[in-house]
Amino acid sequence: MLKDKVIIITGASSGIGRATALALAKLGAKLGLAARNYAALSAVADQARQLGAQAIAVPTDVTQKDQVADLVSEVLATFGRIDGLVNCAGVGVIRPIEQLTEEDIDRTYAVNTKGVILVSQAVGAAMLKTGGGRIVTPVGTMGRYVMRGSVAYSASKWGAVGALKAMATEWQRSGIGISLLYLGGVNSPFWDAIEMKVQRDKMLSVEDAAQAIVSALQAPAGSVLNELVLQPDSHQFI
């Protein structure tokens, strides 16, 4: 079903984005992979090609509109169309409000909110010309709930949720389907820089997260998986 579909994945150099790229490579998708770390991104593109997929690595900072435009142009020049976007680029800051810096607020907003808007806007414009596509964003449960220390992070994710829901209204009946995936904790490098005691072995795996993303991309024509909450079984309904 996703064979030969052209899919852009931001944040493909690590964690959920990387696992999604490899899952989609196994299904024969054509991949436009984006992130800032070109060495890591190229390694993922190489692995995807070893799995038989066509893949290009396009170094991109999603907070920079010109780089986002270049990403979309390069994918269109290579593959001719865009069928799917997976917004995995993101940064995590979980810190008590007393310790939250202005830089934390600016950085989480720039990547998690503005970056999602810029990439979805540019990809959406391309999808409108070819009858639609799927935009899947693993916003995380902090786009739906809150927790101690999540002031900047939740604000950035709730911002992304608001923006994506507004896009869905603007693009109604255009063929563009928007999926918001509220994933609970996922054991990825995301947690390496977070100073909070967590049980990483109890979290979802990046492969679990990728499977949810693939399911959203595979929703049958004429339907859309709008929202999904996927939690580790230790965290049901919270």
Ligand X SMILES: NC(=O)c1ccc[n+]([C@@H]2O[C@H](COP(=O)([O-])OP(=O)(O)OC[C@H]3O[C@@H](n4cnc5c(N)ncnc54)[C@H](OP(=O)(O)O)[C@@H]3O)[C@@H](O)[C@H]2O)c1
The reply to whether 84 sits near ligand X by the rule CB under 6 A is no
CB atoms within 10 A of CB 134: 24
- φ/ψ bin of 28: left (φ > 0), alpha (ψ from -120 to 50), beta (otherwise): left
Active site residue 145: no
The reply to whether 186 sits near ligand X by the rule CB under 6 A is yes
The reply to whether 190 sits near ligand X by the rule CB under 6 A is yes
- Which is catalytic among the residues 153, 182, 197, 202? 153
The reply to whether 11 sits near ligand X by the rule CB under 6 A is yes
Q: Which tokens hold the place of 72?
A: 């979309």
How many of the chain's residues bind ligand X (CB under 6 A)?
31
The reply to whether 17 sits near ligand X by the rule CB under 6 A is yes
- Which is catalytic among the residues 157, 165, 182, 202? 157
Closest CA to 96 of 155, 153, 149: 149
The reply to whether 138 sits near ligand X by the rule CB under 6 A is yes
Q: Which tokens hold the place of 202?
A: 């109890």
Site string for ligand X, 26-65 (x = CB under 6 A): ---------xxx--x-------------------xxxx--
Residues 107-136 within binding reach of ligand X (CB under 6 A) = 111-112, 115
Which of 52/189 has CB closer to ligand X?
Answer: 189
Shortest Å, Cβ 96 to ligand X: 19
Active site residue 157: yes
Interface with ligand X by CB under 6 A: which range of 89-97, 124-132, 161-169, 225-233?
89-97
Known catalytic residues are: 153, 157
Residues that bind ligand X (CB under 6 A): 10-11, 13-17, 35-37, 40, 60-63, 88-92, 111-112, 115, 138, 140, 183, 185-186, 188-190
